[in-house]
Amino acid sequence: MFALVQILGKDAPSRVDIKKGGVMPRIEGPKPKIEDYKDGKVRGLVTLAKVGAAFVIAKKQFDPSTGDELDPVVIGVDKKQFEDKKESLLKQIENIDAMIADMEALE
């Protein structure tokens, strides 16, 4: 719980779910999008952390009317799922590259 409190601050939820041997915090609010990760990290809005055996992403949120910082959205992420997704996307890129090469050969 200590690492989770470091991410969430003093208002960290006391209830967490156990999944695949790791501690996974409850998901509240909109999920962070992978497309926003790199930019959010550079801007200090997204943090990746390890909690026990699990990884979590914490994304800062702000009140739209006051600009005050709210509790972050915290979501557990699975490294294996990202590795599988990357492999799938690389295969798609290989096929796209082959198609483009064939098109160029016909020009």
pLDDT at 104 over 90: yes
Predicted confidence at residue 13, as pLDDT, reads 42
Q: Is residue 67 in a domain?
A: yes
Q: Is residue 14 in a domain?
A: yes
The secondary structure of residue 27, as a DSSP letter, is P
Q: Is residue 22 in a domain?
A: yes
pLDDT tens, 21-51?
444 444 445 555 778 888 989 999 999 999 8
Q: Is residue 96 in a domain?
A: no
State the residue range of the domain holding 51.
2-77
Q: Is residue 68 in a domain?
A: yes
Q: Is residue 88 in a domain?
A: no
How many independent structural domains does the chain possess? 1
Residue of 97, 88, 81 lying closest to 34 (CA atoms): 81
pTM over 0.95: no
Higher per-residue confidence, 2 vs 50: 50
Q: Is residue 105 in a domain?
A: no
Sign of the torsion angle spanned by Cα atoms 10, 15, 18, 19: negative
Q: Is residue 85 in a domain?
A: no
Predicted confidence at residue 19, as pLDDT, reads 43
pLDDT at 93 over 60: yes
